[in-house]
Chains A and B, each alone.
Chain A
């Protein structure tokens, strides 16, 4: 799986959009971009994933650049409960067991 690079930390004001960047310059054509988050001491929570096109669900939007070398996770109206470590990972199509490797992620702190 391709390596990703994320800023170690970001702050966001409550109610504003949180834009979390991720670089994945070595991504290959059949690899998906996944985002998870982990609130302290809890299990990781799946947020969203995409291949080429921008994606949106009830939690967030995922914007993937045309060359697919980077992406941005957007939380449109951040709340205090969105404070967590956010992980961007790149994964190939899985036909067998595949460990999730999160890396260091971005600590997002939503400020009141």
Chain B
């Protein structure tokens, strides 16, 4: 079982609020990912990190930002939440070896009113 954690699991907030979604992994993985997924829909990669102090935007444009100051921690921040940000946010990590299996956290379901 993969040791990757996300908090909070559910969040309901008002428009304009700043939020940070937390993601931590205890496996020492170099690569970490943030995906966005709407119910019944495909995953969309929004951010990626190769390692500490290395982040890139994913294929889906997102107004969120990320940071990677420590290997185990990859938080995602929305400076001003809007209803269009309502979605499930999934964090994943991988060891970066030749198989590059991605392990996912339980997700944060965000609702912006």
Contact = CB atoms under 8 A, between A and B. Distances in A.
B partners with A = yes
B39 to A, nearest CB: 8
A27 to B, nearest CB: 16
Interface size class of B (residues with CB under 8 A): 20 to 34
Interface string B37-77: 00100111100101000001011000000000000000000
Contacts of B90: 43-44
Contact of B100 (A43, A94, A101, A103): A94
Contacts of A100: 35, 43, 45, 92, 102
Contacts of A43: 6, 90, 92, 104-107
Contact of A49 (B50, B88, B101): B101
B44 to A, nearest CB: 8
Interface in B24-39: 31, 33, 35, 39
Given A32-B99, A49-B99, A97 B104 contact: no
A41 B88 contact: yes
Contacts of A41: 39, 88, 107, 109
A97 B45 contact: yes
Interface string A41-74: 1111110010000000000000000000000000
Interface residues of A, number: 19
Interface of A is mostly: loop
Contact of B101 (A34, A97, A101): A34
Interface of B: 2, 6, 31, 33, 35, 39, 42-45, 48, 50, 56, 58-59, 88, 90, 92, 98-107, 109
Interface of A: 32, 34, 41-46, 49, 91, 93-94, 97-103
5 contacts: A41-B39, A49-B101, A93-B98, A97-B56, A99-B44
